[in-house]
Amino acid sequence: MLKTLLHTVVPSRNDRLLKEYRGLVARINALEPQMQALAPTQFPAKTAELKQRLGNGEILDDLLPEAFALVREASRRVNNERHFDVQLIGGIALHRGQIAEMKTGEGKTLASTAPSYLNALTGKGVHIVTPNDYLAKRDSVWMGAIYTYLGLTVGLIQHGMEDDARRTAYAADITYGTNNEYGFDYLRDNMKFRLEDYVQRPFHFGIVDEVDSILIDEARTPLIISGPTEESTDKYYQIHKIMHGLSREVRREEVPKLNADQLHGIDEKWEQYEDSAVVREGDYAFDEKSRTISLTERGAQIVEERLRGKGMLAQGGLFDFENIETLHHVNQALKAAYQFRRDVDYVVKEGKVVIVDEFTGRLMPGRRFSDGLHQALEAKEDVKIERESQTYATITFQNYFRMYQKLAGMTGTAKTEEEEFIKIYGMEVLVVPTNRDMIRADHPDVIYKTKEAKLRAVVADITDIHASGQPVLVGTISIEASEDLSRRLRSEGVPHTVLNAKYHEQEAEIIAHAGERSTVTIATNMAGRGTDIKLGPGVREEGGLFIVGTERHEARRIDNQLRGRSGRQGDPGASRFYLSLEDDLMRIFGGERIANLMTRLKVEEDEAITHVLISRAIENAQKRVEAHNFEIRKHVLEYDDVMNKQREVIYTQRREILGQGVDAVLLEMAEEVLEDMLAVHTDSKNPEEWDLEGFHTQFHATFGERAKRDWHGGTPPQELLEPMLEQVRELFKAKRESLRPMMARAKGEPPSEAELDDIFQHFARHLLLSIHDGQWKDHLLSMDHLREGIGLVGYAQKKPIDEYKRAGFEMFAELLARIARESVATFFRAQFSGAEAPPPVERKQPKLQFSSDGEESAKAAKAAKVRSIPNWGRKREKKRKGA
Ligand code: ADP
Ligand code: MG
């Protein structure tokens, strides 16, 4: 009452917008004669002119009336379809980044052409997103004729297309494709090894057709690219076998901290060896502070010999570029053998290595150490190494589409979900009036006591309507229900067609005929189908298309989609939903009250009732379910948001690596690593407590030589940093130089500076990329499991999402640090001894799986186990925060 009163006094926002847009439409209409007078060749010329004016500082809004008028005239000429005023209104909404709610058959495909054209004038590309390949193709051809007439280019993305064709399609002014193809192209691009291979341009303007179907119904399942893990498990066992009997090197300052066992073999007079840092020779050095372990030269020699003996070393030494992978395995095996202690850091339980939480001592079943360490421990304990299929890349549609500078959508049913569209995508919904008045008769729901009685009534009614010649479209909520109904109709001798969602093109064909005389069509879910039903000859007189809903869906939106198939463009039509107290929605929500009511009214089994109370109860039930589902989707998104920020950082870094100047990226990393290293070892206020030897060990392990600038006493670290950075830069240059003789040998003459540069860049890129991608994949897995783990463990007083954010952030900081550290250490320790240039950046992609299917991704998530945080990073983070 109050609502209606308010409504008549204060115009709604929808009304105000419509009024504004109608004003614009009047301006567009006024330009019509002018456009009609143009010769065909003047259309591309006009496009060029508008582009130029854009370049001269006019903005798109200035050009809108002319651009829209131009498109309308082009469409009239090419397709003999002149945009209705309401289609222009919808077009303006799209241009404004809103959702145009326009009923089925109102011509959304055409409505989107004007804003597409206008925004494509920027040259930055416009993506039209369709729910399936068939529609992308249909629309790109159909609307493509208009754009071509106007002098713009059109591209089409189809499943299974080659990259070259994709790149061309994305380079076009306007591109048509499905949400899946766009999303997967984005992920695939970011797995490529050369920038030239990327197919997409930066995201500019996207118009999502059937937007509720894509952004709401499909939003619960992310896109996932997965593949097998690359390593063979055998290697872990073999390498573990050669780690036996290595001894620890002891440095003088470590002695006071060692226990009696560890002191074994140290010369009693060690204190007298003033100038020697090492008091017991060994095969590996272990720095407890940073928890790093590395082979000494002696140890490296032993390991090399053993590897060679087993034929596990390619030509050259352990630190040669060709052996990077083996070196990595060796390092992990070393950690497993000499750093990680059974029953302290982990336990072995039922044939599995289970992590013990460093801080709480709690077992963390299901979690895994990252970076191959867990496998190395499994090899050490001689249990089965768990091979995992792993995620290579993943994104939710929400986050994919939020990357567009501007996003718009269109559908017949959006208003019910407006809150979600606004909160998540910042898109408001404009309800656009229909071109002609809607005259469909929507009959009230009828309710039966039992499902059986309901179905009998449905079949009887369909039989009657069919006999009258009126076409019927029957909606069910599951394939099972469709089949059941089909059986019943068959036994009544009613001819009909059942739609299954698998073959879009064939389906479009069936739907196209669903409006013809005496047809009966059964369909499961009409949302997002994108084909409208035109009435056959003589059907108008029979009352148009009759819609039968056999059950109420959880979401009103889906019911509205079904209804909306009838009554298009002022057609006659009718609709009715049939319900029973045994339907899920009724059973779960308020069924009992209604049941009592029906008993009181003495309703017979085959008797139906309609009642406003019941209709209202159903609507309320639907609202509750919708709100609940929104919560779930928000939840998914909250989690993916954490990943999203990380993905952006990683993908940006990746583009840097692929670009020119990758050597600069590497040098920068080296400087950061050095700074961190220095900070960690001198974090105490008291210089006495600085761990200088630890620093030197780590410096050596990272850069391959000792720091020249030795430092005793209390020289402030800031003063030391610059000379050490200088040393690192020198070493960096030397690495580049070391390629020169090798190239000269390979070429037979000295290489030019440009050639040297080229090879050096290749080398740096190859190295960075393999570490970067490998670590990121690994991190994805850790994050998956972190999420799963957090869902299981109750955190006192903490919201799981907060805990996930906190831990996720920490893990990500560690990931970035780890990428830098690994890259730098590998780079400085790699040697070029071979006669050949390092391999160009080219790696084979393993066999990948693309899934956007909920079940698949759930399975993938289950199959994988948590990998957790390597220790050094955690330590470092702690130190930073603690100090
Ligand atoms: P929607 O996507 O809104 O359900 P479509 O874009 O599929 O509708 O268009 C429905 C039908 O209406 C198509 O057959 C199309 O040719 C027709 N149509 C759309 N706009 C116009 C117009 N301005 N003039 C004539 N026919 C039109
Ligand atoms: Mg459509």
Q: How confident is the model at residue 9 (pLDDT cuts 50, 70, 90)?
A: low
pLDDT: which is higher, 691 or 59: 59
Q: How far is CA 649 from CA 654, 721, 812, in A?
A: 9, 27, 10
pLDDT for residue 845: 53
Question: For the segment 293-337, what is each residue's pLDDT rounded down to a tens digit?
Answer: 888 889 999 999 999 998 888 777 887 766 777 888 898 899 999
Question: For the segment 559-585, what is each residue's pLDDT rounded down to a tens digit?
Answer: 888 998 999 889 999 999 999 888 888
Residues 71/76/82/83 CA torsion (nearest 10 deg): -20
Pair of tokens at residue 262: 């560890």
Q: Are 585 and 591 contacting, i.e. CB atoms less than 8 angstroms apart? A: no
pLDDT for residue 841: 39
The mean pLDDT of the chain is: 84
- Tell me the range of 203-207, 525-529, 706-710, 778-782 where mean pLDDT is highest: 203-207
pLDDT for residue 503: 60
HSE (side-chain half, CA atoms, 13 Å) at 198: 15
Q: How confident is the model at residue 880 (pLDDT cuts 50, 70, 90)?
A: very low
pLDDT for residue 843: 44
Pocket test for ligand 1, best of 94, 438, 532, 565 (most atoms within 8 A of CB): 532
- Tell me the range of 83-92, 311-320, 673-682, 823-832 where mean pLDDT is highest: 83-92
110 in contact with ligand 1, CB cutoff 6 A: yes
109 in contact with ligand 1, CB cutoff 6 A: yes
Q: Whose CA is nearest to atom 19 of ligand 1?
A: 107
pLDDT for residue 869: 25
Q: How many CB atoms lie within 10 A of CB 66?
A: 19
Question: For the segment 80-90, what is each residue's pLDDT rounded down to a tens digit?
Answer: 999 999 999 99
Round to whole Å and give the CA distance between 590 and 317.
75
Q: Check whether 142 has a pLDDT greater than 90.
A: yes
pLDDT for residue 93: 98
The percent of residues above 90 in pLDDT, for the chain, comes to 43
In degrees rounded to 5, what are phi and psi of residue 819? -60, -45
Q: Whose CA is nearest to atom 22 of ligand 1?
A: 81
583 in contact with ligand 1, CB cutoff 6 A: no
Q: How far is the CA of 104 from the centre of ligand 2 (A)?
A: 7
Q: Are 410 and 90 contacting, i.e. CB atoms less than 8 angstroms apart? A: yes
Closest atom, ligand 1, to C-alpha of 81: 24
Q: Check whether 31 has a pLDDT greater than 80.
A: yes
Pair of tokens at residue 347: 């336990």
Round to whole Å and give the CA distance between 256 and 693.
14
Q: Check whether 788 has a pLDDT greater than 70.
A: no
Closest atom, ligand 1, to C-alpha of 84: 23
Pairing of the two strands 849-851 and 223-228: antiparallel
Question: For the segment 495-514, what is each residue's pLDDT rounded down to a tens digit?
Answer: 999 886 556 677 778 888 99
pLDDT: which is higher, 697 or 881: 697
Q: How far is the CA of 141 from the centre of ligand 2 (A)?
A: 14
Residues 773/775/776/781 CA torsion (nearest 10 deg): 130
105 in contact with ligand 1, CB cutoff 6 A: yes
Q: Whose CA is nearest to atom 17 of ligand 1?
A: 107
Neighbours of ion ligand 2 (CB under 5 A): 108, 530
Question: For the segment 460-487, what is each residue's pLDDT rounded down to a tens digit?
Answer: 999 999 999 999 999 988 778 888 999 9
Question: For the segment 350-407, what is each residue's pLDDT rounded down to a tens digit?
Answer: 888 988 766 566 677 666 777 788 889 999 999 998 766 677 888 888 889 999 999 9
Q: How far is the CA of 139 from the centre of ligand 2 (A)?
A: 9
